[in-house]
Chain A
Amino acid sequence: MISNESCPIPLSDYPEVTMAHGGGGKLMHDLISRMMYRVFSNPILDAQHDGAVLRTDGRRIAFSTDSHVITPLFFPGGDIGYLSVYGTVNDLAMCGAKPEWLSASFILEEGLPMETLWRVVQSMGEAAERTGVSIVTGDTKVVERGKGDGIYINTAGVGIIPEGVDISPSRVREGDSVILSGDIGRHGIAIMAIREGIDFQTVIQSDLAPLDKIVSELLEVDLDIHCMRDLTRGGLASGLNEIASAGKVSINIRESLIPIRDDVLGACEILGFDPLYVANEGRFVVILPEKNAEKVVDILHKHENSRQATIIGHVAEASYADVIMESSIGAERIVDMMSGEQLPRIC
């Protein structure tokens, strides 16, 4: 009887949820695997994909959900409305699905200006139109002033996986190339700059973007893509660690090949952040046999959002660590899963 089991995260560990439990790092993965996976375990969930892949009447559909809690609601390069639609659309695209239908649930805080809500809803409408999805069901709740952060939005989505497409971390093989779709760290730094009122001279725009069109173009060509993952919370490092761990391989990358803008790198230097762990909202990695890697890079280069796409490494036999990076000076470094969340340093 599940209900009689004691809490799998003992009181002596973490008696209460901390912010770090939502940071996309090891603590969050621990929480999910020790609580959620343990109680909900089933073959579909256990595949640990960006979304669930379901079979019905011989067709396969992808199903995914994402909650959006972000301060500020509006940021350079987007807002919570675009984010809530693109977030779920991208998760579906990473399963190889064509996103079709979305739900939208709003939790609104008493006192939220109606004008703000209207702007967010319009953004969602535009994002849905751009990605060709229909928002077909939803829910709205209001909580007392002080009990929410303006707007929380949950979206869930369903997409259809085309015949012949099979994308999953379990398909990753030794020798596969690892392609990164563009420069990293922009979303996290853009949000951080506004939230903390840090002026970096240039305004850093979030990389928020829908990935459905690029992905569907990649899937139209017979490239035998093994795995894709969008790099959101926890950044490139967490995405690669998740794939390596689920695929039971090691991933080797080279620091000098990873594109990072100067202003993002500068901000990371000031804050003491490692850009490998900073959030993105429009970046993804593609893992596929080496012989097709250049073709993918060529296709990605045709899209404005992925002009800097590049091969950053390859998949190797499982070795002493999940992700190993050759540093800029030519030595080796382990790229571990982040522990909790990155905190700005002292000096």
Chain B
Amino acid sequence: MKYVSEYRDRSAAEEYAERIQQLASREWTIMEVCGGQTHSILKYGIDQLLSEKISLIHGPGCPVCVTPIELIDQAIEIAGIEDVILCSFGDMLRVPGSVKDLMGVRASGGDIRIVYSPIDAVKIAEQNPMKQIVFFGVGFETTAPVTAASIIQADHLNLDNFYMLVSHVLVPPAMQAVLSNPECRVQGFLAAGHVCSIMGYIEYESIVSEYNVPIVVTGFEPLDILEGIHMCLKQLEEGRAEVENQYTRSVKRNGNPEAIDMIREVFEVIDRKWRGIGAIPASGLGLREKYSKFDAAERFGVSGYTVEESGDCISGQVLTGEKKPDECTAFGGKCTPEHPLGALMVSSEGACAAYYRYRLTRSNR
């Protein structure tokens, strides 16, 4: 298949692995930021091809995983209100709140619909004028433009029954949070290609100089990741710290200006809490005053939650690369996709889910 199979070619992968092997003169630790990349690494076994000198650690790039538990609880409360239709991406349904998940709310009669785009939620609002439609807006910069477009469209249509529970987060502040951690072992980054398709990589230029760390914008296919690692390693070996772009078939330096304009029209940058990590300044998007009438938390009066997480879950340490999922005592036993303690075990981009799905052996069940 074009644009897929050529990036999964075995001999090319082996050639890159060999080049990496030859180039690595010492041990290096590289973080892939995005959970989609983590899943590719585990699914295709990219780490098995790599030189032992290269350690990959998995980053915080899973929007489902970092959505605060308070927001999940808010969504659950809203979904339980009569006449509300809660629209969500499929990934969110199995993420544990403090007591239950959205799948459970649906089983108890809540009207929760899986949509592929927030625009579908706007359509549902048009078709159901007697119902209150709430879209659970979760994601990084990748999905922010279409979330913004749905607000603009709802505004244009004068809809008074469409709301959004916003939990959008931004990647660069999270990378800075990782780098600011005194325990940080990360020496180079593979930045998330999809996020950069929207935002470009200008934002990373100040990070490389401030922290002296190479960043390579990288795609998601096995060969993308191997090439990204090779580029990052070359910088490390040569003592350089620059922003480089491996994912040239999708990413330009200044991103997609129309999409960025749309985000800026609807959202402003705000401080946001990340599940497992804590509050990160200027790391999220919130609705601008102009569009505050679409704010579901305000409309349904569900803000102001604070919830304690399960003490057995080490999501925070996994999200910041301090620990790997299989180093958690609950992994595969107390915590499974059927009975998750944290979001990382159920999200399609969660590192724990990747380890469970592709690496769980009979012995660690």
Chain A residues close to B by CB (< 8 Å): 13-20, 26-27, 30, 196, 198, 256, 262, 265-266, 269, 271-272, 320-322, 327-334, 336, 339-340, 343-347
Contact = CB atoms under 8 A, between A and B. Distances in A.
Interface string B27-58: 00000000010000011111011000000000
Contact of A334 (B140, B142, B358): B358
Interface residues of B, number: 52
Contacts of A196: 116
B180 interface: no
B127 interface: no
19 contacts: A17-B107, A271-B116, A320-B362, A320-B363, A321-B362, A330-B45, A330-B49, A331-B46, A333-B44, A334-B359, A336-B357, A339-B336, A339-B346, A343-B348, A345-B89, A346-B91, A346-B138, A346-B139, A347-B63
Nearest to B223: A329
A30 B338 contact: yes
A346 B103 contact: no
B103 A26 contact: no
A343 B8 contact: no
B299 interface: no
A322 B361 CA distance: 9
A256 B44 contact: no
B103 A18 contact: yes
Given A265-B4, A332-B45, 15 more contacts: A256-B10, A271-B116, A321-B360, A328-B44, A329-B8, A329-B14, A329-B46, A331-B45, A331-B48, A333-B45, A340-B94, A343-B93, A343-B114, A347-B63, A347-B142
Contact of A347 (B10, B44, B140): B140
A320 B336 CA distance: 18
A15 B94 CA distance: 14
Given A330-B13, A333-B43, A345-B349, A340 B361 contact: no
Main secondary structure of the interface of B (DSSP, over half): helix
B339 interface: yes
Contacts of B356: 336
Nearest to B2: A262
Contact of A344 (B43, B89, B103): B89
Contacts of B357: 334, 336
Contacts of A26: 337-338
Contact of A329 (B45, B94, B339): B45
B63 A346 contact: yes
Given A18-B103, A345-B349, A331 B338 contact: no
Contacts of B140: 347
B74 to A, nearest CB: 18
B4 A269 contact: yes
Interface of A is mostly: loop
Contacts of A329: 8-10, 13-14, 44-46, 49, 222
Nearest to A274: B43
Interface of B: 1, 4, 8-10, 13-14, 36, 42-46, 48-49, 63-64, 89-94, 103-104, 106-108, 114, 116, 138-140, 142-143, 194, 222, 336-339, 346, 348-349, 356-363
Contact of B36 (A27, A262, A347): A347
Given A26-B338, A333-B45, A343 B94 contact: yes
B111 to A, nearest CB: 13
Contacts of A20: 94, 103
Contact of B337 (A262, A327, A334, A339): A339
Contact of B43 (A17, A18, A327, A347): A327
A345 B91 contact: yes
Query: Considering residues B63, B140, B348, B361, which has the most beta carbons from chain A within 10 angstroms of its beta carbon?
Result: B348
Nearest to B103: A18
Contact of B1 (A15, A262, A320, A321): A262
A269 B63 CA distance: 19
Given A18-B103, A336-B360, A330 B116 contact: no
Contacts of B93: 343
Nearest to A26: B338
Contacts of A256: 10
A233 B339 CA distance: 22
B10 A330 contact: yes
Nearest to B226: A329
Contacts of A16: 104, 107-108
Given A16-B108, A26-B338, A27-B338, A347 B143 contact: yes
Contacts of B359: 334
A340 B14 contact: no
Contacts of A271: 116
A27 B337 CA distance: 9
B87 to A, nearest CB: 13
A31 B148 CA distance: 41
Contacts of A333: 42-45, 358
A331 B104 contact: no
